[in-house]
Amino acid sequence: MTLLDGKKTSEAIQNEIAAEVAAIKAKGGKIPHLAAVLVGNDGGSVTYVTNKVATCERIGFGSSLIRYEDTVTEEELLNKIKELNEDEEVDGFIVQLPLPKHIDTEKVIEAIDPKKDVDGFHPTNVGRMVAGLPAYLPATPAGILQLLQRYEIDTKGKHCVVVGRSNIVGTPMSILMAKGGYPGNATVTLCHRNTVDLAYHTRQADIIIVAVGQPGLITADMVKEGAVVIDVGTTRVPDASRKSGFRLRGDVDFDNVAEKCSYITPVPGGVGPLTIAMLMTNTLRASKKEVYG
């Protein structure tokens, strides 16, 4: 069994980007700039956004963090998005989700200029991805593709079972794994909350990708010997022995599943660290006008 080391892979990608930024700087080119909009004080969101901004600094990107109280109006937020769309210094920006209930998330996402949508959430980028056109890919699926590629895991003709159909992970993952090229060319089954006998499906899988947020959902009896298991779950569970008071648990019962696998991601330290690296990749692509010209 080989552990898929997301931390190491993320660092490798970040180092590659940092080297490219240094070369851009040396030539007097435009330094990539990422802006992040954060609404409210949700612990997870604050941590993610703080990490994103710190990563920008480390790899030589410019960054801005725009914070609002969770009482911000939709109109204020939409005005800020318009400003960021027009700001030539800003190559790409993200609005951290989830947003408070009084704000229409879809409306906010659709207000972002697709050219600056480095999260890849805008319907234009989603549609372009489905059509196989150049697009910003969402960070988590893109990070999983990087893991498969950098560990040279065979995907052609394999049966990939994706569990969870979210817009951010499961749905795009299922599309990307079924596409031609590498990693891809897999036969894909997309399972979700209405799937009858989930274990029947996962037991057929050469590759299982699970993103539902249900700790320990995938148990050893659900996994075929030699399978590749990718765990996207990161649920905070109370843990009095930790200073933070919680620890992260994945959707896979790692202790019992790992020994059956050829490859498996740990939680934490698997898929999680890749998402930041892929956001940085998208921001670099935005600054180089690689996707939309």
Write out the residues near ligand GUN by the rule CB under 6 A.
94-97, 119, 139, 168, 275
Annotated catalytic, 146?
A: no
Q: Phi/psi class of residue 223: alpha, beta or left (left: φ > 0; alpha: ψ in -120 to 50)?
A: beta
Helix (H) or strand (E) holding 2: strand 2-3
Annotated catalytic, 52?
A: yes
Angle between helices 6-26 and 43-59 (to 10 degrees): 50
Sort 17 into a burial class: Cβ within 10 Å, 0-12 / 13-18 / 19+: buried
- Going by the annotation, the residues of the binding site are 164-166, 234
- Active-site entry in 5, 91, 117, 119: 119
**Do the Cβ atoms of 201 and 164 come closer than 8 Å?**
no
- Active-site entry in 5, 14, 52, 115: 52
Q: How far is the CB of 125 from ligand GUN (least distance, A)?
A: 13
Helix-then-strand count for the chain, H and E: 10, 11
| Minimal CB distance residue for ligand GUN | 97
Q: How far is the CB of 111 from ligand GUN (least distance, A)?
A: 14
Q: How far apart are CA 79 and CA 111, in angstroms?
A: 9
Is the CB of 159 or the CB of 236 nearer to ligand GUN? 236
Is the CB of 203 or the CB of 236 nearer to ligand GUN? 236
- Going by the annotation, the residues of the binding site for NADP(+) are 164-166, 234
Using DSSP bridges, classify how beta strands 246-249 and 235-238 pair: parallel, antiparallel or unpaired. antiparallel
Q: How far is the CB of 94 from ligand GUN (least distance, A)?
A: 4
Annotated catalytic, 91?
A: no
Q: How far is the CB of 245 from ligand GUN (least distance, A)?
A: 21
- Active-site entry in 80, 91, 96, 206: 96
Is the CB of 46 or the CB of 220 nearer to ligand GUN? 46
Sort 106 into a burial class: Cβ within 10 Å, 0-12 / 13-18 / 19+: exposed
DSSP symbol at 22? H
Is the CB of 155 or the CB of 282 nearer to ligand GUN? 282
